[in-house]
Chain A
Amino acid sequence: MAIITYREALGQALREEMRRDDRVFLMGEEVAVYQGAYKVSKGLLEEFGEMRVVDTPITELGFAGVGVGAAMVGLRPVIEFMTWNFAVLALDQVLNAAAKLLYMSGGQFNIPMVFRGPNGAALQLSAQHSQAFESWLAHIPGLKVVTPGTPYDAKGLLKAAIRDDNPVCFLEGEMLYNIKGEVPDEEYVIPLGKADLKREGEHCSIITNGKMALVAMQAADQMKKDGINVDVVDLRTVRPMDTEAIYASVRKTNRAVVLEEGWEICGIGTQVVDYIQRNCFDDLDAPIIRVHQADVPMPYAKNLERAAKPDVAKTIAAVRKVMYLD
């Protein structure tokens, strides 16, 4: 079992899938000659050539649409956005083309493609570069939305996303590229739509996804010292959502904290809480609490940014509150 970074795990997934299937190609800004804005595609141009590792102009709407068109006629594009913040320019192609063509054509045209790139806040990038988009995308029927939180998940899920015959939005964590984790040497694929129980405990469930899985695990490890044992349910895929995993955990612990990176209103957590209240109402011993970004554009100043972001301390406070400890 090798210990590699999240970035390397993604690069391995791309390389293995491009070797496996020559319909798969990578397209985006700075993916080829520059070796990737975040070096995820390092070395791919050399191995696969410029027809399969394609640098584009800065033209998100355009190359997202190029991907959809190529997918309509049988290729399997991986479209990299330098960040999901820029992908908003291409949202029409994701929403109105990729997600809808199968339905509008009465099942004739499925769109086997991946839109991927870093998502959410990094450090002091301010309002326009620090947004988490999973709730926007998860709103749309016809898409799958994947948010890996560890190197292991990143590799296994990206391979699954590339093999999936549907359009998959794959949201990586900008702050996660350097984190390290164990990744098996042998090939593996993680099915989309399956949550992962990253910590086990009986006192409370923390339901989370993406970058926040790490925060939840850190919170869980800290609380364990005080004798508080929590389940950390990492959804991994937010659409389709593994509701059974949520229910199983909440029915065990009778308490839930829902942690996400993005904003509060109509966020991923809103949906999780709705599923819980509909299906676990009689299992709840306390109201559910959500932890999320403050309901403001991300500020630049360090202290304000810290105050705006969800973190370990806020997560622990929420758990203690639903356990009636504070």
Chain B
Amino acid sequence: MATKVFMEALSPTMEEGRLVKWLKNEGDAVKNGDSLAEVETDKAIMELVARGEGILRKRLVAENETRPVGQLVGIIAAADENIDALIAGAGAPAPAAAPAASAVPTAPAAAPSAPATTATPVVAAAGPAPTSPAPQGDAGNGGHVRSSPLARRLASERGLNLSGVQGSGPGGRIIKRDVESAATQTPAAAPTPAKVRVSSGADFDDVPLTQIRKTIAKRLSESIGPIPTFYLTAEFDLSRATEMRAAMLEMGDAFKVSVNDIVIKAVATALSQHPEVNAHWLGDKIRLHNRVHIGVAVATDDGLIVPVITDADQKRMSEISAETRSLAKRARERKLAPEEYTGATFTISNLGMFGIDHFTAIINPPEVAILAIGASHDVVVSTKDGFAVKQHMSVTMSCDHRAVDGAVGAAFLQTLRRLIENPLMLVF
């Protein structure tokens, strides 16, 4: 019994989805619950999972194509099952494919095509031409490198990137011996100085206010407004970021990233190491968030709006780039859903494109800090053999002193500097 794979409503509001990447090749065996493809919804990239068992016999949509919810995108069936009729029916939306999020279309395709028993190959009626199977190899498992938990731990301890390691376990799984032999060939990278933080596993941890914290909050509030703000300014060297952007651009438009994308990724990464800054001031306690949701201030005709990139620390730069563009565009079109501009744990405001050298931004409570990004500009700096022109960018962080002390903010900026000035660490 064949199982039809439909474009599913992977978010409550999704009407169509772009198939970003197939995670299974035609001919691959799939089990119920296996991820078949990455699909970009109106909000994020989600995984489309198999609702049945068998062989992925047919992929009816090419990567990067968009299909409405309910449309047949693939067929899972036994190796010898005749699926011609099903292919012929592709393109017609499944009749039961209501846009309701939970509906998994299971009704038989009602397209007026050849009877299911036909043995004659039928050309797909309205659907796109079936694509040829993706090449075997990396793409075959969705870009994931299969490796044992031990191999991953050893690689991380030795600063080894597993993507370059050849796996000798079943199905190419990288196991301990592969890491060990790779490690003897590759000089170890500098150990990542990531701060180990023990979190509860929840989305956030509430920290009760200590006496000293309460006193700081009270005294400083008396001194300045309801939010006792102080400002930290730093200049970052963008040379390497610029080089990286240029190198990526040479690889094609798909790899184009903006300085802003790099900044968002860097800030998110730094926040995951500095939870004190990724926090909310709640009056009687400080909420340290274990997820990093970055608000990005966008100017619209109606005024400022701050769409949110959720879990930005977990996303690849390309995802952040695509999401930022999409959010900003829809913000200007006033098409953002409420959940898309609420829930930020930290905000970035960038006025660099308006030629502002540096500025101070106003904290959006209950967040405890905001980062203001100025325009990048050339500066002449002294080097050991003379002078050089470097591209610099000025950033200013406004901090709520009730929650964040100067040293804490400074430590965060230090991490951020290391990341922005060595942007390869962001893709590591």
Chain A residues within 8 Å of B, Cβ to Cβ: 254, 281-286, 324
- Residue pairs across A and B with Cβ atoms less than 8 A apart, 6 shown, are A254-B150, A282-B150, A282-B152, A284-B148, A285-B148, A286-B175
Q: Which residues in A have their C-beta under 8 angstroms from that of B149?
A: 281-285
Q: Which residues in B have their C-beta under 8 angstroms from that of A324?
A: 168-170, 175
In the bound complex, what is the Cα–Cα distance between A286 and B146 (angstroms)? Answer: 11
Q: Which residues in B have their C-beta under 8 angstroms from that of A254?
A: 150, 176
Q: Which residues in B have their C-beta under 8 angstroms from that of A283?
A: 149-150, 153
In the bound complex, what is the Cα–Cα distance between A286 and B167 (angstroms)? Answer: 13
In the bound complex, what is the Cα–Cα distance between A254 and B176 (angstroms)? Answer: 9
Q: Which residues in A have their C-beta under 8 angstroms from that of B169?
A: 285-286, 324
B151 within 8 Å of A (CB atoms): yes
In the bound complex, what is the Cα–Cα distance between A289 and B176 (angstroms)? Answer: 18
Chain A interface secondary structure, helix, strand, loop or mixed? loop
List 16 additional A-B contacts (Cβ < 8 Å) besides A254-B150, A254-B176, A283-B149. Answer: A282-B149, A282-B150, A283-B150, A283-B153, A284-B148, A284-B149, A284-B150, A285-B148, A285-B151, A285-B169, A285-B175, A285-B176, A286-B169, A286-B175, A324-B169, A324-B170
Q: Which residues in A have their C-beta under 8 angstroms from that of B152?
A: 282
Q: Which residues in A have their C-beta under 8 angstroms from that of B176?
A: 254, 285
Minimal beta-carbon separation of A254 from chain B (angstroms): 5
In the bound complex, what is the Cα–Cα distance between A14 and B412 (angstroms)? Answer: 68
Minimal beta-carbon separation of A242 from chain B (angstroms): 22
In the bound complex, what is the Cα–Cα distance between A324 and B177 (angstroms)? Answer: 12
Q: Which residues in B have their C-beta under 8 angstroms from that of A282?
A: 149-150, 152-153
Q: Which residues in A have their C-beta under 8 angstroms from that of B148?
A: 284-286
Chain B residues within 8 Å of A, Cβ to Cβ: 148-153, 168-170, 175-176
Minimal beta-carbon separation of B370 from chain A (angstroms): 37
In the bound complex, what is the Cα–Cα distance between A79 and B176 (angstroms)? Answer: 50
In the bound complex, what is the Cα–Cα distance between A283 and B175 (angstroms)? Answer: 11
Chain B interface secondary structure, helix, strand, loop or mixed? helix
Q: Which residues in A have their C-beta under 8 angstroms from that of B151?
A: 285
In the bound complex, what is the Cα–Cα distance between A184 and B168 (angstroms)? Answer: 48
Q: Which residues in A have their C-beta under 8 angstroms from that of B175?
A: 285-286, 324
B168 nearest in chain A by CB position: A324
Closest 9 CB pairs of A and B: A282-B153, A285-B150, A285-B176, A285-B148, A285-B175, A282-B149, A281-B149, A284-B149, A254-B150
B156 nearest in chain A by CB position: A282
B151 nearest in chain A by CB position: A285
In the bound complex, what is the Cα–Cα distance between A254 and B170 (angstroms)? Answer: 16
Minimal beta-carbon separation of A4 from chain B (angstroms): 43
Q: Which residues in B have their C-beta under 8 angstroms from that of A284?
A: 148-150
In the bound complex, what is the Cα–Cα distance between A286 and B168 (angstroms)? Answer: 12
A251 nearest in chain B by CB position: B150
A283 nearest in chain B by CB position: B150
In the bound complex, what is the Cα–Cα distance between A254 and B151 (angstroms)? Answer: 10
In the bound complex, what is the Cα–Cα distance between A324 and B146 (angstroms)? Answer: 15
Q: Which residues in B have their C-beta under 8 angstroms from that of A285?
A: 148-151, 169, 175-176
Minimal beta-carbon separation of B423 from chain A (angstroms): 28
In the bound complex, what is the Cα–Cα distance between A111 and B168 (angstroms)? Answer: 55
Minimal beta-carbon separation of B158 from chain A (angstroms): 14
Minimal beta-carbon separation of B356 from chain A (angstroms): 47
In the bound complex, what is the Cα–Cα distance between A85 and B287 (angstroms)? Answer: 56
Minimal beta-carbon separation of B178 from chain A (angstroms): 10
In the bound complex, what is the Cα–Cα distance between A286 and B152 (angstroms)? Answer: 12
Minimal beta-carbon separation of A284 from chain B (angstroms): 5
Minimal beta-carbon separation of A280 from chain B (angstroms): 9
Q: Which residues in A have their C-beta under 8 angstroms from that of B150?
A: 254, 282-285
Minimal beta-carbon separation of A118 from chain B (angstroms): 40
A254 nearest in chain B by CB position: B150
Minimal beta-carbon separation of B193 from chain A (angstroms): 20
Q: Which residues in A have their C-beta under 8 angstroms from that of B168?
A: 324
Minimal beta-carbon separation of A125 from chain B (angstroms): 38
Minimal beta-carbon separation of A137 from chain B (angstroms): 32
Minimal beta-carbon separation of B378 from chain A (angstroms): 47
Minimal beta-carbon separation of B198 from chain A (angstroms): 15
In the bound complex, what is the Cα–Cα distance between A311 and B99 (angstroms)? Answer: 54
In the bound complex, what is the Cα–Cα distance between A254 and B175 (angstroms)? Answer: 10
Q: Which residues in B have their C-beta under 8 angstroms from that of A281?
A: 149
Minimal beta-carbon separation of B327 from chain A (angstroms): 36
Minimal beta-carbon separation of B172 from chain A (angstroms): 12
In the bound complex, what is the Cα–Cα distance between A286 and B175 (angstroms)? Answer: 8
In the bound complex, what is the Cα–Cα distance between A133 and B228 (angstroms)? Answer: 66
Q: Which residues in A have their C-beta under 8 angstroms from that of B170?
A: 324
A286 nearest in chain B by CB position: B148
- Most chain A CB within 10 A, of B148, B168, B169, B176, is at B148
Minimal beta-carbon separation of A189 from chain B (angstroms): 38
In the bound complex, what is the Cα–Cα distance between A283 and B152 (angstroms)? Answer: 9
B148 nearest in chain A by CB position: A285
In the bound complex, what is the Cα–Cα distance between A286 and B148 (angstroms)? Answer: 6
In the bound complex, what is the Cα–Cα distance between A283 and B150 (angstroms)? Answer: 5
Minimal beta-carbon separation of A205 from chain B (angstroms): 13
In the bound complex, what is the Cα–Cα distance between A324 and B150 (angstroms)? Answer: 15
In the bound complex, what is the Cα–Cα distance between A254 and B180 (angstroms)? Answer: 14
Minimal beta-carbon separation of B421 from chain A (angstroms): 31
In the bound complex, what is the Cα–Cα distance between A282 and B156 (angstroms)? Answer: 11
Minimal beta-carbon separation of B383 from chain A (angstroms): 43
B169 nearest in chain A by CB position: A324
Minimal beta-carbon separation of A283 from chain B (angstroms): 5
In the bound complex, what is the Cα–Cα distance between A324 and B153 (angstroms)? Answer: 20
In the bound complex, what is the Cα–Cα distance between A324 and B178 (angstroms)? Answer: 13
Minimal beta-carbon separation of A203 from chain B (angstroms): 12
Q: Which residues in B have their C-beta under 8 angstroms from that of A286?
A: 148, 169, 175
In the bound complex, what is the Cα–Cα distance between A58 and B153 (angstroms)? Answer: 58
A324 nearest in chain B by CB position: B169
In the bound complex, what is the Cα–Cα distance between A281 and B148 (angstroms)? Answer: 9
B150 nearest in chain A by CB position: A285
Minimal beta-carbon separation of B156 from chain A (angstroms): 9
